[in-house]
Structure 1
């Protein structure tokens, strides 16, 4: 989507060492070591990379989090416990650092979560968040999605964790991971289209919100042990073995749709890690590993537009190979396929 209005920029500041995120020993710097400030001046900053953990930093760089396989199972267990309690779920609510995991990670294992990271200092941000909130609250039961708002002036660490470069930014989360996003203010008709696209992409893949007072979680299946085995294979750098285990989940006709979706996402990164390990990874693979999927698609589509003959065919073949790594219903994949088709002629 285009961004018709001005945006505010999230500018990470370092702790004086010039570094952000994980250090050489793999340990993440404390929140106190990083300050995030918001300016409405059009400047941008590099997207920070961060390791996988149970904090908001698990989403840094928007890459698939292989280390979160066990955490995803734990999140499903917490969602199960919540279902037993029968507590009602707010359809629109603000997010704090303390509620991050429950409001975004756990909730997105049940239904898509649309998150706006905004600031009252960014023109149009408040109006767009009100439009999203109204759409969420107008749903009839059972609700199919929820809206969450992050005030970057109050909880800047969440904005940094998501790698947000400007506000407002809107992300859709499903199964604990970012699905798609856009930057800038959009009118209500465009936000409604965004919601519809997210719901279409996730249809039948998430269990839904628990019914109030009903122990729906008692009927949930235990976590598939193949995910744990795949995580152990990745720890051993046995990428072929991990891919085989994810394939087993994907090909299992009895596997829950949520597990199949999770396996497809994890398989894609396992394949890319395997290429990196054997030295066959190229710049496109590295972009994907860093979570820069749209950028990787854009590079190949631009190459198709500006080339001919064998070079154009090679770019097309590479794109099709990338598409096969991801869910065909993913909005970014659908968009890239459409743009690839126009680049063919």
Structure 2
């Protein structure tokens, strides 16, 4: 599955995308991470896909009116066409942005995404002391962004500095080498970038040591103890709503990660359920993997679809699996409410 090409999307062509007749991505063997060199003068100008400044100002104003800190920066996030400029161009003028261009069809992409997401969340420091942030682009969902960056195969990891790729590697790599690569990126720009702003509206949950303790338990492989720690936070009557939401999401991920086991099994389930939507076991494994990736609405849809393709005991089993998945999340979650409506319609 690795060394896959970036999908070709003829419907949307950014200015920096290769023109018709240009060589397409070809499978290649993994390239080892290299220490960052000087910036490449011919690198793709990410500014060609910048969003209008007025749109950013409007979003900032809306966030301020809603009481949301405009200084808050997510350590890990998926990049969309709307967030491209802020997440990659602007952010990389403050700290290095480690960008993974991957695919849900690639096991190596999933492993790298989970690895970087865990790594960037580990430092227990204020936002302004962070040395880097992690961003992810789904090459299947938005191939035009991958092509604008000059990516020809997935997974590809780039270090963006000052709006340009400074160094990159392609394919699966040992975690130790990836950590060394990241450290070399950080050292190369040390003192040359201003860093992230302080989060003037930092949420209370980021200061709660119980979350850090639970995360440490997960790193140690003590998943059940971590789940118990999250349960204690949720049972505490003094827990603020924002902290409760964070703990609930982390608890769900811990449970799903334990159920998922080998990521390759989940990938196989995704492929199988695409061909056999009525396979309840495959649908359950696929739904849990999607939820673990932060795509719980898509996971709900897989099980609802399984209900529509089954009858009798199998249909009821799919329903029960879906109800168990609902239990991991807040009943007032809009995605849960929508999925419950879809489940009800699938019953008849």
TM-score scaled to structure 1, two decimals? Answer: 0.45
TM-score scaled to structure 2, two decimals? Answer: 0.44
